[in-house]
């Protein structure tokens, strides 16, 4: 027993502060959030302890999922995630492919592509709110004004004020901001492929298209998967960019994270916690299979 303690004790003492903080401020708060979501705490009086709150278990979840407003938020989240993922992956891979072979001024181009990442979502949202202004014709500004100047008036539209597809317009600045990050991932993947593989494929008579299709692209699969998971979970939690461009009361651009903010602001803590729990479950459904896959790959 004493030998075991001498061997295990020091590592446990070293990890104890981190484990304690993680247990209290991560898993403890997650448990508290779920506990709140199982109550009928919907009023300011209940939130401040002046009125009692009773357990209703899953009633908040079933009521939320049955409302048209929350279903619209989930649909917006799906549209935003799909466009965000497709846009960042396509643009990031395209830029990485163009820079895959060292070219003159590569550092300059890399800096330009990566610069948007240095800007906060709130700051870029303020700028993009003006660029995506929905005013048209004589009152046009931003991109609508640009289309007007260059004679492409037919491209003017309502952008994020479109009730059905307004959330897709907000995906545009998100793509602009994170495509450089995906480019950096793919570029690192390209540079990590040994030159011997390329030379062996060329000696076997492979064309450039066959080289990329059968040699290089399969080597980039882990990078692509990592980029999908990172960008995907970021899109699921999007809040600050949407709030900077739109407003919480705007039906056309609301997503579950915005709903959570609105519920919290009106002292509806139970529904706010339920929305947070639903978001956590969605993110976990994306992240956990990836972690399991990574663990299995490492054991091989």
Asked if pLDDT for residue 299 goes beyond 80, the answer is no
Between these two residues, 200 and 269, which has the higher pLDDT value? Answer: 269
The domain in which residue 199 lies consists of 21-298
**Spatial separation of the C-alpha atoms in residues 266 and 271, rounded to whole Å:** 10
Indicate whether 131 belongs to any domain: yes
Q: Which structure tokens are listed for 147? A: 């289309």
pLDDT-derived band at 1 (thresholds 50, 70, 90) equals low
Q: What is the CATH number of the domain that holds 28?
A: 1.10.3720.10
Q: What is the mean pLDDT of residues 44-55?
A: 89
Indicate whether 12 belongs to any domain: no
Picking from 92-101, 118-127, 249-258, 286-295, which range would have the lowest pLDDT averaged per residue?
286-295
Indicate whether 9 belongs to any domain: no
pLDDT-derived band at 76 (thresholds 50, 70, 90) equals very high
Q: pLDDT digit string (tens) for 13-22?
A: 888 889 899 9
Domain count, the chain: 1
Indicate whether 79 belongs to any domain: yes
Question: In Å, how far are 10, 102, 159, 183 from 1, measured between CA atoms?
Answer: 14, 60, 68, 53
Between these two residues, 241 and 208, which has the higher pLDDT value? Answer: 241
Q: pLDDT digit string (tens) for 132-186?
A: 988 888 888 889 999 988 988 888 888 988 888 889 999 999 999 999 999 999 9
Q: Which structure tokens are listed for 139? A: 């009152």
Q: pLDDT digit string (tens) for 86-126?
A: 999 999 999 988 888 777 777 788 888 888 888 888 999 99
Asked if pLDDT for residue 204 goes beyond 90, the answer is no
Indicate whether 11 belongs to any domain: no
Return the pLDDT at 202. 83
8 Å CB contact between 83 and 168? yes
Return the pLDDT at 87. 95
User: Among 197, 258, 286, 262, which residue's Cα sits nearest to residue 74?
Assistant: 258
Question: Secondary structure of the chain in the HEC alphabet?
Answer: CHHHHHHHHHHHHHHHHHHHHHHHHHHHHHHHHHHHHCECCCCHHHHCCCCCCCECCCHHHHHHHHCHHHHHHHHHHHHHHHHHHHHHHHHHHHHHHHCCCCCCCHHHHHHHHHHHHHCCHHHHHHHHHHHCCCCCHHHCCHHHHHHHHCCCHHHCCCHHHCCCCHHHHHHHHHHHHHHHHHHHHHHHHHHCCCHHHHHHHHHCCCCHHHHHHHHHHHHCHHHHHHHHHHHHHHHHCCCHHHHHHCCCCCHHHCCHHHHHHHHHHCCCHHHHHHHHHHHHHHHHHHHHHHHHHHHHHHHC
Return the pLDDT at 13. 84
Indicate whether 174 belongs to any domain: yes
Indicate whether 1 belongs to any domain: no
Indicate whether 16 belongs to any domain: no
């Amino acid at each position: 027993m004493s030998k075991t303690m001498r061997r295990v004790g020091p590592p446990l003492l070293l990890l104890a502060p981190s484990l304690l903080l993680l247990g209290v401020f991560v898993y403890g708060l997650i448990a508290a959030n779920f506990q709140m979501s199982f109550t009928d705490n919907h009023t300011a009086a209940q939130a401040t302890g002046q009125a009692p709150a009773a357990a209703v278990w899953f009633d908040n979840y079933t009521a939320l999922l049955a409302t048209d407003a929350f279903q619209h938020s989930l649909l917006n989240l799906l549209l935003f995630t799909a466009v965000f993922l497709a846009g960042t992956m396509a643009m990031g891979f395209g830029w990485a492919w163009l820079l895959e072979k060292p070219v003159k001024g590569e550092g300059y181009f890399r800096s330009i592509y990566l610069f948007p990442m240095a800007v906060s979502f709130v700051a870029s949202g303020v700028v993009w709110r003006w660029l995506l202004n929905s005013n048209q014709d004589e009152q046009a500004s931003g991109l609508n004004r640009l289309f007007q100047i260059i004679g492409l008036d037919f491209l003017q539209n309502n952008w994020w004020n479109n009730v059905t597809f307004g959330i897709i317009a907000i995906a545009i600045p998100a793509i602009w901001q994170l495509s450089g990050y995906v480019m950096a991932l793919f570029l690192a993947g390209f540079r990590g492929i040994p030159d011997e593989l390329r030379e062996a494929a060329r000696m076997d008579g492979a064309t450039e298209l066959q080289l990329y299709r059968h040699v290089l692209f399969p080597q980039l699969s882990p990078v692509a998967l990592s980029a999908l998971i990172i960008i995907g979970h970021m899109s699921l939690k999007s809040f600050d960019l949407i709030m900077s461009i739109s407003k919480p009361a705007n039906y056309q651009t609301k997503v579950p994270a915005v709903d959570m903010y609105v519920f919290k602001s009106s002292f509806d803590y139970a529904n706010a916690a339920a929305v947070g729990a639903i978001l956590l479950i969605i993110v976990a459904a994306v992240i956990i299979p990836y972690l399991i896959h990574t663990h299995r790959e490492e054991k091989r």
